[in-house]
Each structure stands twice: as C-alpha cells, then as structure tokens.
C-alpha cells in the first residue's frame, strides 16, 4: 500500500469522541463490510483484506481530525491514504467510480450507525468534521482512481502496440522473401509464416480492443440480432482449427435467439484462446445447450486446475492468472464476464484435477428484455 507512514498521536491527547471512535472500530468495519458486500457490485467476490484495503489508516487519521488541538485538521491532511485506496481499487478490483463513491458513503453511514448503537452523543461539529473528511477522502480517491486507470490504459496500449511490431516485421520480411525467391518451397514456408504471424497480430489487436472497451465502460456496446448460436460456435472452432489450434469438438444442438454476435464471438474467442494457453494434451470442447429459456455456452480443457484462491476472482478486473508459464493480460476473462452480464446473464468457472476446467457463459435465449441501450440489426456481424 502506498500510504505515507505518520507517527500516531498519543491517545491521551485524543478527544473523548475520538477515543470512542477508535473503540468501536471493529463494529464500524463489520457494518461497512456487510453493507458493501450487499450493495456494491463486485464486492462479494473480494477477500477480506482486499476489500478493507487501507481504510483502517484513514480511520485512525479521522480520530486525530476530530480531536481539537492536534495538527491534523482532516483525515487526509499530510496523508496519501485516500489516494492509495483509489489506486488499489483501480488496479485490483472491478469497481467503477460510482462504486468507489458509494463505499465511502457507506463508510460514513457505518460510523453513524455504530455510534448510535453505542449510545454516543457527539456534538454536531464532530459529525460535520467526520463528514467533511470523508468527502475530501472520496474526492482524492476518485482522482487517483481515474489517474491510475488512465496510466494502466496507456501502459497496456503501449505494450501491445510494441509487441505488434514483432509479427509485423516477420510478415514484412516474409513478403519480401516471397517476392525475391524462385523456390516454391521457400515461398510456401514464408507464406505459412506470414499467416501464423497475421493470426498472432489479429489476436493482439483483439486484446487491445478488449482492453480499451473494459477500461472505458462497464459493458461493451451491444448490437442485437437474431441468429443460431451453433453457427457462430462452429465458425469460431473452424477459425482456431485452421490456425493450428485444435483439436476441437463442438457438442450441442442449434439454439436460435437474440444476442450481440460480435460481443458473443469475442467472448468465445477469449475463452477458446484461454483454453489453448492453459490446457494440456487433449481436445478443447465447446458445448452449447438451451435450458429453460437460457443459453449455456461452455469451453472445456484438460490441464492443471485453477487454484481455489484464484477461482473466486478469476473474472476480476486485470486479474492475471499464471499457469504453465503463461501469463495473460488479465483482460480477457473480465471482458467475458462483462459480455455475459450485459446480456442479462453471468459467467462461471468449474475447475478440478479430475474434470479439468470449464468456463461457462449463461444468458437468456432472448436477451432483449434485459439489455439497455442496445442497437438492433437484421443480421449478425461476422
């Protein structure tokens, strides 16, 4: 945590209200954590330390801020605690600005409720000081949250753009060789190399688009159309098989419904790419079925299971799961969940030593009643 360490004031110098505030710390954080998990999207999946973050530091500062005579006039004075909180929320959670602001409001409410339960009768100026400090803290956290997101976005875009130069260079060299050689075998090998690196470049561009989409907004824009999901699945399977990514098996029947074809295609491509990166010997299976008006679309691979500690937050924003020496950007699975939720559904994972790993997207067959601000089109985009 990037918090500036400060010497804590002698508690004997704290006001009566400040000592009471410190005495009810556990009650405040219990109330706050329960409220945040119940009311803020994405909070339920966070483990305790990640959710609490560095708010206890801010809480101790608050005790000093409501003690007349001490140098700290607000909880954020001489401290970067609130800024560090905003940065961690941007880097380690899927919280948006609204969620960050909401959790500070719930923090204030938890202090109020714990004080009332304790029977504390604090003067209005104490409550005003608490409210003022929390308002300032929320503003500082939001500013740092936005700055961190912009920094991450720039770093991802720069890194991916830099990595794109390598396949472009290979493709250029291969094309020049094809133009110069009269040997058909050499030309054939060069053409194959160009195709492989073109596929790699296309995948990188997809990663970059996913990154920009996830950084920019909570859900991707949807263009709804009526189509058979099995056709899309077969097309994606052929795409990866032709690129040397097989073997693949597609299991299931036709399921016709209303979805966004580009978004569902990109989500499925992410899951298949993930299965190929982290799976071991054996085919990748894509299964499609309809159950009680819901589409279930799953991708299964064999290999080492996802550790339980990772499983709870595998879909988290910028969560980087490393397996078999492969480190991802931590964007794809967050994008998959975003697509599923934007269709009125959800994404889940099942992973064990015996059964392997299965990622599943479940959405309504007709997602139109569940989608806001969608554009309709006659045919799915290919």
- pLDDT per position as a tens digit, 182-218: 888 888 888 888 887 787 777 667 666 655 555 544 4
For 298, counting Cβ atoms within 10 Å of its Cβ (0-12 exposed, 13-18 middle, 19+ buried), the class is buried
Segments in the chain forming alpha helices (H): 16-23, 25-39, 48-52, 55-65, 81-92, 97-118, 124-180, 184-216, 229-242, 261-278, 308-311, 332-342
Question: Residue 178 is encoded by which pair of tokens?
Answer: 């094809």
Is residue 303 within 8 A of residue 278, CB to CB? The reply is yes
List of the chain residues with pLDDT < 50: 1-8, 216-219, 317-330, 377-382
pLDDT on residue 372: 63
For the record, the structure tokens of 108 come out as 């204030």
Cα distances (angstroms) measured from residue 224 to each of 202, 263, 266, 325: 24, 10, 14, 38
Q: Are 173 and 197 in contact (CB under 8 A)?
A: no
Phi then psi for residue 124, to 5 deg, are -60, -30
* Backbone dihedral angles phi then psi of residue 316, each to the nearest 5 degrees: -65, 155
- Spell out the domain ranges in the chain: 11-151, 154-216, 223-376
pLDDT of residue 7: 42
> What top-level class would CATH report for the domain 154-216?
mainly alpha
CATH of domain 11-151: 1.10.490
Helix (H) or strand (E) holding 289: strand 284-291
Mark 91-106 as b/e (b = at least 16 C-beta within 10 Å): ebbbbbeebbbbbbeb
Question: Facing residues of 376 across strands?
Answer: 224
Strand, coil or helix: what is 17?
helix
Q: Is the dihedral of CA 183, 185, 191, 197 positive or negative?
A: negative
> Would you mind telling me the total number of residues written for the chain in this entry?
382
Strands 375-376 and 223-228: parallel
- Contact (CB, 8 A) for 250 and 286: yes
Burial class (CB in 10 A: 0-12, 13-18, 19+), 123: exposed
* Integer Cα distance of 249 and 239 in angstroms: 13
Evaluate whether the domain defined by 223-376 bears CATH number 3.30.565.10.
yes
Q: At 229, phi and psi to the nearest 5?
A: -65, -30
Q: Do the domains at 11-151 and 223-376 have one common CATH topology?
A: no
pLDDT of 251 reads: 93
Q: How big is the CA angle at 243 (ends 247 and 319), to the nearest 5 degrees?
A: 80
Which pTM value belongs to this model? Answer: 0.50
Q: Is the CB of residue 40 less than 8 Å from the CB of residue 95?
A: yes
Structure tokens at 218: 């909570």
Q: Which of 247, 337, 335, 329 has the alpha carbon at shortest distance from 286?
A: 247
Three-state SS at 85 = helix
Residue 197 and residue 35: Cα distance in Å, rounded? 49
Distance CA 125, CA 19 (A): 16
Q: Which two tokens stand for residue 365?
A: 């067959």
Backbone torsion region of residue 121, taken as left when φ is above 0, otherwise alpha when ψ lies between -120 and 50, otherwise beta: beta
């Amino acid at each position: 945590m990037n918090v500036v360490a400060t010497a804590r004031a002698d508690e004997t110098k704290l006001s009566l209200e400040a000592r009471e505030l410190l005495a009810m710390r556990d009650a405040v954080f219990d109330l706050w954590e329960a409220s945040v998990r119940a009311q803020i999207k994405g909070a339920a999946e966070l483990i305790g330390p990640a959710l609490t973050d560095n708010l206890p530091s801010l809480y101790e500062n608050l005790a000093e801020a409501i003690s007349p005579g001490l140098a700290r006039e607000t909880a954020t004075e001489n401290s970067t605690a609130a800024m560090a909180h905003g940065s961690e929320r941007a880097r380690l959670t899927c919280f948006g600005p609204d969620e960050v602001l909401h959790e500070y409001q719930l923090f204030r409410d938890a202090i109020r409720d714990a004080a009332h339960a304790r029977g504390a009768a604090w003067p209005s100026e104490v409550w005003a000081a608490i409210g003022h400090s929390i308002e300032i803290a929320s503003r500082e956290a939001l500013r740092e949250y936005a700055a961190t997101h912009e920094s991450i976005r720039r770093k991802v875009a720069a890194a991916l753009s830099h990595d794109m130069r390598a396949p472009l260079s290979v493709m250029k060299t291969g094309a020049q060789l094809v133009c110069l050689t009269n040997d058909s075998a050499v030309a054939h090998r060069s053409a194959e190399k160009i195709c492989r690196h073109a596929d790699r470049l296309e995948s990188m561009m997809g990663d970059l688009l996913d990154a920009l989409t996830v950084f920019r907004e909570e859900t991707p824009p949807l263009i709804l159309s009526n189509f058979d999901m099995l056709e899309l699945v077969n097309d994606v399977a052929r795409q990866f098989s032709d690129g040397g990514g097989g073997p693949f098996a597609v299991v299931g029947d036709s399921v016709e419904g209303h979805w966004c074809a580009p978004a569902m295609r990109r989500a499925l491509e992410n899951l298949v790419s993930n299965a190929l990166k982290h799976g071991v010997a054996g085919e990748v299976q894509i299964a499609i079925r309809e159950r009680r008006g819901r589409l279930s679309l799953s991708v299964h691979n064999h290999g080492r299971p996802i550790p339980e500690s990772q499983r709870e937050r595998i879909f988290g924003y910028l969560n980087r799961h490393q397996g078999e020496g492969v480190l991802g950007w931590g964007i794809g699975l967050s994008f998959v969940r975003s697509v599923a939720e934007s269709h009125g559904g959800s994404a889940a994972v099942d992973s064990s030593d015996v059964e392997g790993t299965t990622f599943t997207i479940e959405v309504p067959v007709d997602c139109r009643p569940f989608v806001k601000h969608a554009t309709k089109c006659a045919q799915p985009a290919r």
